[in-house]
């Protein structure tokens, strides 16, 4: 069984993860962050808020090594 996806669903998924990513607890941030790293790089680029959040976490350097290695988080233009 497969679930059909479209742009809207992707944005919704990213927004839901973004809620957790903006949580003040670093543990919840880490888990949502690791979920995001499982996603395709294009998913991150679709939502400006998420991009900013990922860049912020990247700068803080807490558990963001994998994302930095893969070059998924690039600063918004």
Partner 1 sequence: MINFVLLISRQGKVRLTKWYSPYSQKERSKVIRELSGMILSRAPKQCNFVEWRGHKVVYKRYASLYFCMCIDQDDNELEVLEMIHHFVEILDRYFGSVCELDLIFNFHKAYYILDEILIAGELQESSKKTVARLIAAQDSLVENAKEEASSFSNIIAQATK
Which positions touch partner 1 (CB under 8 A)?
A: 26-31, 62-63
Q: How far is the CB of 64 from partner 1 (least distance, A)?
A: 11
Q: Which is nearer to partner 1, 11 or 35 (CB)?
A: 35
- Contacts of residue 30, defined as CB under 8 A and 6 or more positions apart, other chains included, come to 62, 63
Closest CA to 45 of 21, 10, 20, 19: 10
Q: How far is the CB of 46 from partner 1 (least distance, A)?
A: 25
Taking every pair of Cα atoms in the chain, the longest distance, rounded to a whole number of angstroms, is 40
Q: How far is the CB of 30 from partner 1 (least distance, A)?
A: 4
């Amino acid at each position: 069984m497969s679930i059909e996806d479209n742009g809207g669903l992707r944005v919704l998924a990213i927004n839901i993860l973004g809620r957790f990513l903006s949580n003040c607890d670093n543990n919840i941030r880490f888990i949502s962050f690791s979920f995001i790293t499982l996603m395709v790089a294009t998913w991150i680029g679709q939502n400006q808020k998420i991009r900013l959040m990922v860049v912020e976490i990247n700068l803080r350097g807490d558990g963001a090594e994998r994302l930095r290695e893969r070059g998924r988080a690039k600063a918004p233009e």
